[in-house]
Amino acid sequence: MQSEQAGRDGRAERPERLRRLRRVCCGLLAAGLVFLALLAPPGARAGALLVAGLAGLAVTAAALRRPWRRCGPAGPAGLVALLSLAVDAGYFGPRGLVLLWLPFEYAALLVLAGRTVRRSAARRAAFAAAAVVLAALALPLRFTVRLPQAVLGTSVVAAAAAALPVAVAIGTGLHLRRQDERQARAVRLARREQRLEVARDLHDFVAHEVTGILLEVQAAQFSGYDERQTGELLARLEAAGTRALDSMDHTLRTLRERETPGAGPGLAELPALVDRFRAAGPADTVLTLTTPEPGTADTVPPETGDTAYRVVLEALTNIRRHAARAGHLHVEVTRTGDPAVLRVTVTDSGGRDPAATPPRRPGEGGTGLAALAARVHALGGTLTAGPHTATATPGRPGASGAGWRVRAELPLHDGP
């Protein structure tokens, strides 16, 4: 644990060291540019300091990003571009001195153009990038228009030569901008999928246990339990609460450790799930589990086994909520067909009482089967749920002969 923490601290320190190194190099370069201007002849020193100061400012704006974070890259880029255009128009020094600092200013303008297109909002990027492009194209004219015999063709050739690197800088900025947008979209989708996965786990596992606890408590309010039955009830409630906490811990651990999908329960845990449901059900509830052939659980892919478990879990949870008076429940998991298909069927004999089921508010509930269907379809399977004709349970006047069946068919291969 300490070594992992030390590794994270080391990785966090490296970018800071690089930023410090960048600031030092930028300061040395700007100071060097200004120092060269001080070496100019006295009559040309003022003009040299003007172009050297502008070059140093442009290099600083291009090399240092942190000071400009509040206003974004468009502000410094636009300021440098306007100053560059102003110096183009008002430069009064010897024309030869221009060539000494021109490459540094031009390179800085290219960096500012690409960064502005990449990082700024669309409208601000358009205005600032246009100003920077104009300044970069006009920069060679600072020298050509001051030649003894200024020729229009020379200025046009110089501006055209400056246009190619500018186009490359703009294109690079646009390409990186699209990459950033794709990466941000992928991060948003990954976070959304992560939230949906957490919601599915909470619904499938935690809600099942909480529903069982709620029904047990409601039943206890109308039952005259003796001391032994009360102790058994409390033990079941404690076990259900522990399983709910374990499910939440598993979900959080999955987020932290990035466990692979399919690490949840599978076919091997189905008997225990059915036994818990049977123990919490009414005394006359008959529930049977038909297990697959020996060795099937070992050949079922983990994601398929996890989905089969969730199908049974969701069906039993809905029976608890909406058909608590069902007299017969049947859970069947078989391997059939060629190609092989894992068929999961949960059937109840009815007993749904609309008067006992509170009306569902808009936006509340109803998402379990829909999310489960999407999960099954992602594996190339099918999920159906609906009423079926069942034999009415004798002695249960409230039980209806119209039962409910949930059936999922999952192909036994690695993908859809």
pLDDT digits (tens, 9 = 90+) for 354-400: 444 444 443 344 457 777 888 888 888 899 988 876 554 444 444 44
CATH label, 267-355+366-416, candidates 3.40.50.720, 3.40.50.1820, 3.30.565.10, 2.60.40.10: 3.30.565.10
Prediction pTM value: 0.53
- Asked whether the beta carbons of 54 and 87 are under 8 A apart, the reply is yes
Report domain extents, the chain.
2-150, 267-355+366-416
10-residue mean pLDDT profile of the chain (416 residues): values are 48 67 76 76 76 83 68 81 86 74 86 87 83 87 71 77 90 91 84 70 67 70 72 76 71 59 70 77 56 59 84 82 72 78 84 49 54 84 82 45 82 63
- pLDDT per position as a tens digit, 131-178: 988 888 888 887 777 676 656 777 788 888 888 999 999 999 999 999
pLDDT at 175: 92
